[in-house]
């Protein structure tokens, strides 16, 4: 069976945006969590260090969990969208979206490698 390939100039951009959307959601939600943690630290003040530390850690932890959940949901929706494009024969969108997802995976892998390799207590 021969499937005709349908490509438009916008299909490349559409694929790149769809491929990088899960990464953008993760970064956006985690950035909001970091800003919220900083705002909470400013509200609590410096006089209550242990309370400030607990609140900031809780906000960052919940933000990280929310970012992971949003990443997973967006990733599933993107994969469904890619499957639909593949069924329609839009190969350019499929290829660029998969390249974008690959770039997102490599960025996450780079972050994990840096976290493992970097010393936790650098020498002063």
Q: For residues 87 and 74, what is the distance between their CA atoms, to the nearest angstrom? A: 20
Query: pTM of the predicted model, to two decimals?
Result: 0.79
Q: For residues 36 and 81, what is the distance between their CA atoms, to the nearest angstrom? A: 32
45-61: pLDDT as tens digits: 777 888 888 999 999 99
What local confidence, expressed as pLDDT, does residue 108 receive?
A: 87
Q: For residues 6 and 12, what is the distance between their CA atoms, to the nearest angstrom? A: 12
pLDDT above 60 for 1: no
How distant, in Å, are the alpha carbons of 36, 47, 54, 63, 87 from that of 50?
A: 17, 9, 6, 20, 55
Q: For residues 10 and 108, what is the distance between their CA atoms, to the nearest angstrom? A: 27
């Amino acid at each position: 069976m021969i499937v005709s390939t349908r490509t438009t100039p916008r299909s490349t951009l559409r694929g790149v945006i769809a491929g990088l959307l899960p990464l953008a959601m993760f970064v956006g939600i985690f950035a909001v969590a970091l800003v919220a943690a900083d705002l909470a630290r400013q509200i609590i003040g410096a006089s209550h260090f242990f309370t400030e530390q607990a609140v900031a850690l809780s906000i960052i932890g919940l933000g990280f969990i929310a970012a992971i959940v949003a990443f997973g949901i967006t990733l599933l929706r993107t994969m469904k969208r890619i499957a639909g494009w593949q069924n329609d024969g839009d190969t350019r969108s499929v290829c660029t979206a998969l390249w974008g997802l690959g770039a997102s995976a490599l960025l996450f892998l780079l972050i994990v490698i840096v976290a493992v390799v970097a010393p936790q207590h650098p020498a002063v």
